[in-house]
Amino acid sequence: MNAQLISLISLAIFAIIVLLFALMVLWKIYNDEISLRGLLAEPADAPTEGATRAPTYGKASLSRFQFLIFTFVIAGLYLLLSIEAGTFVDIPNNVLGLLGISGGSFLVSKGMSGSQKKKPDVEITEEDESGTKVTVKK
Query: Which has more pLDDT, 57 or 14?
Result: 14
**Residues 27, 68 within the same domain:** no
CB atoms within 10 A of CB 71: 13
Identity at 40, one-letter amino acid code: L
**Residues 125, 83 within the same domain:** yes
**Residues 6, 70 within the same domain:** no
What is the total count of domains within the chain? 2
3-state SS of 46-59 is CCCCCCCCCCCCCC
Q: Mean pLDDT in the chain?
A: 79
Helix (H, G, I), strand (E, B) or coil at 130: coil
Q: Residue 50: inside a domain, yes or no?
A: no
**Residues 71, 129 within the same domain:** yes
| pLDDT tens sequence across 41-68 | 776 665 556 556 555 666 777 888 888 8
Q: Residue 68: inside a domain, yes or no?
A: yes
**Residues 79, 138 within the same domain:** yes
Q: Residue 49: inside a domain, yes or no?
A: no
pLDDT given for residue 54 in this prediction: 55
Helix (H) or strand (E) holding 25: helix 3-30
For residue 24, the enclosing domain spans 1-35
* Confidence (pTM): 0.53
